Structure 1
Amino acid sequence: MDNGYLVLETGEVFPGSLIGSKRDAIGEVVFNTSMTGYQEIMSDPSYAGQIIVFCYPLIGNYGINPQDFEAENIYAKGVIMGEACYLPNHYSSEVAAPDLLSKLGISGLSNVDTREIVKTIRKRGSVKGFITDSIKDFPDVIVPENWVELVSTPKIKNYPGAGPHIVLLDYGYKKSILEALLHANCQVTVVPYNTSLEEVEALQPDGVLLSNGPGNPEVLKNHLPKIKKIAEQFPTLGICLGHQLLAMAFGARTEKLLFGHRGGNHPVKDLATGKVYITSQNHSYNVKEDSINLEVFSITYKNINDGTVEGLHLKNFPALSVQFHPEAHPGPQDTNYIFEKFLTLIHEKTGVMSYAI
């Protein structure tokens, strides 16, 4: 294997072995603590522009299969792992993980001290990194601001169902969100993120879902008036980035966390019942609690570890949002019932009900 390096903009250098495309790659370095689900993580569009560091030491042992992709492409800039498995063992595996990276032109490193990288990120915060074949000065590269534009569907896609009609505003949605709606027998129309209010209204949805997606929600501030009107007209569910956008549309603000929440073991407390759920998460930003107008929103969930806001419910409109991922994939499905709550809001407003999830 060829020698490779992760060079951080703060000066630290981590040696390893190049895998994947072996081209130089630059991106924000983030870490994920999940023990399984590397295929779903790598193909999650929310990682667009980022370099993923896997905390689990061995990646690729069960290979890559056709079913577990969360998108049709990998939008991450790079992948870093302790050990890469080239000989996976699973009946559904069709290709080894490092070979998939090569095929899709994604750069990566293995044989890296990922524990030390994570310790550095936890201390420094999420910083830009550079995967390269030699130690060199950090490049001066202009990074795109609007990653959503890269990952959002360019055209409308329709999926049939006999239940309520959901318009899914695509900021970089995971396939598992679509599958959760289809499993509930919903008719789903996936639309580009920049679809106008008038175009959404013309589709006559029973409800609207604001999806997850990459990047800073402030980049999409021009879309907030549209999102506010959507939530005032249609039952609405926001997930991850969609949660942040819904909050901002009604006056709240967001801030960047030091190193984000990424993994499948994040405890979240339901403030109404006191029950704690283990959730799947992937985000850099959160809604600032002191910016939330409590005459407009009820805070429904909080993170046990750091107390950040994990869920909101509009008091005067049938709209709710969660920072975590109720569809999981990868991770526990404790909060899959969020989709049921969304469908209940639709039923209460329109009388249209689907089969239970």
Structure 2
Amino acid sequence: MSAYLALADGRVVEGHSQSPGTGRGELVFTTAYTGYEESLTDPSYAEQVLTFSYPLIGNYGVREERFESDSVQPRIAVAREFTDDVADWLTEAGVPAIDGIDTRELVTAVREEGAMRCGVAAGPDATPEQAREQLDQAVEMSDHTDIGATVSVSEPQVYQGNGARVALIDCGAKRSIIEALTARNAEVHVLPYDTTPEAVADLDPDLLFISNGPGDPANFEAAGQVVDEFAGRTPVAGICLGQQVVARALGGETEKMEFGHRGLNQPVRDLETDRVVMTTQNHGYSVADPGDLAVTQVNVNDGTAEGLKGVGIDCITRQYHPEANPGPHDSLDFFEDVLAMANGADAPTIVAD
């Protein structure tokens, strides 16, 4: 069956339909060569068209215990070749998938021109015109103003533990973040993305944690209001979108990246120890100005902020995913650090001059 991918630069790429349907979104790519199950269920890929740069996707099957959420999150999946296992999974999920495409050329286009809008039509009756119609309906990521509603819990959820009480604002949280906290005995309260400061205050948490999530951090105003209310009196942590939300709430600024960081191989340097770790990342926005926070880690490739911490307040954030599944696990000590803050231990803060 035929499939067509219409790009915002005017090109239409023809491929093979592995799961029929139409759709649209922002075309991005990941350099990961393992972890396709985790990537395809990562809520941070909502409203995007995920292209795998690694040529064969599905060579170790599909196992639900590896999923990061209850469903496939990208609007569309693209690869050089999908195995039958992955194709069947995406078909059952109702997510269009196309392969038989030169993904090297596609990734090069995104690197040179940036993440771009696209439209897809796949199936026995698919036409280039249908793909172009989908492209015409695609919008920029910043225009998905209520994207949090599509990935967040609608009601609070509680994961019992006998340690620190964590209020986790769910902007699209990966399961592995919750598992990393509960594995360290935290009592985790997963709260909707639009939770009010009053609702958080009722929990009297030991730690406020802002999760990862999709899209523009400017569209997560409620989470920013919670940070603004609690920073300085309750320890604050954040991962990925969470770092961006925290920075904006504390006087910083964020910006859209040309094509983002997505993969398992991003090198990050700690400015205090000069140690370099390999990290898993998935984001299209970054912190341009840390505001009242200090930059503690940077991306080796482009110098963007990868870690922030408080100046006179208890706050630690990471742009990458310390809990990364399937790996690498170089930075799992992040969770020890944030739970030490929650438990009242010496917090890794900077004292203002």
- Once the two structures are superposed, residues 206-230 of structure 1 have per-residue CA deviations (whole angstroms, 9 ceiling, x without a partner) of 1111000001111123542322112
Range that drifts further, 225-234 or 137-146: 137-146
| Residue pairs, 1:44-55, within 5 angstroms | 44-55=42-53
Question: What is aligned with 2:303?
Answer: 307
How many residues get paired? 336
Q: Which of residues 319, 322, 329 in structure 2 aligns to 1:326?
A: 322
Question: 1:228, 1:165 → 2: CA distance?
Answer: 19
Question: What is aligned with 1:162?
Answer: 162
Range that drifts further, 229-238 or 162-171: 229-238
Question: What is aligned with 2:37?
Answer: 39
TM-score of the superposed pair, with normalisation by structure 1: 0.91
Question: 1:350, 1:162 → 2: CA distance?
Answer: 21
Question: 2:341, 2:233 → 1: CA distance?
Answer: 12
Question: What is aligned with 1:178?
Answer: 178
User: What's the CA shift for 1:235?
Assistant: 1.1
Q: Secondary structure at the match of 2:214?
A: coil
Question: What is aligned with 1:13?
Answer: 12
User: What's the CA shift for 1:349?
Assistant: 5.9
Question: 2:145, 2:5 → 1: CA distance?
Answer: 23
Q: Secondary structure at the match of 1:5?
A: strand
Question: 2:137, 2:6 → 1: CA distance?
Answer: 14
Question: What is aligned with 1:124?
Answer: 113
- Once the two structures are superposed, residues 238-279 of structure 1 have per-residue CA deviations (whole angstroms, 9 ceiling, x without a partner) of 100000000000111111111000000000000000000100
Is 1:135 matched with 2:128? Answer: yes
- Once the two structures are superposed, residues 315-341 of structure 1 have per-residue CA deviations (whole angstroms, 9 ceiling, x without a partner) of 121111110000011330101110011
Question: What is aligned with 2:193?
Answer: 193
Q: Name stretches of at least 5 consecutive residues in structure 2 with no aligned partner.
A: 348-353
Range that drifts further, 217-226 or 188-197: 217-226
Question: 1:150, 1:80 → 2: CA distance?
Answer: 22
Q: Secondary structure at the match of 1:224?
A: helix
User: What's the CA shift for 1:233?
Assistant: 2.5
Tell me if structure 2 keeps the 8 A contact 1:41–1:330. Answer: no
Is 1:336 matched with 2:332? Answer: yes
Question: 2:229, 2:302 → 1: CA distance?
Answer: 32
TM-score of the superposed pair, with normalisation by structure 2: 0.92
Question: 2:145, 2:343 → 1: CA distance?
Answer: 38
| Residue pairs, 1:257-276, within 5 angstroms | 257-276=257-276
Q: Give the alignment's Cα RMSD to 1 decimal.
A: 1.5
User: What's the CA shift for 1:75?
Assistant: 2.1
Question: 1:223, 1:181 → 2: CA distance?
Answer: 20
Q: Name stretches of at least 5 consecutive residues in structure 1 with no aligned partner.
A: 87-95, 352-357
Question: 2:317, 2:223 → 1: CA distance?
Answer: 17
Question: 1:63, 1:230 → 2: CA distance?
Answer: 44
Q: 1:142 to 1:34 in 2, by over 3 A?
A: closer
User: What's the CA shift for 1:232?
Assistant: 2.4
Question: 1:223, 1:345 → 2: CA distance?
Answer: 20
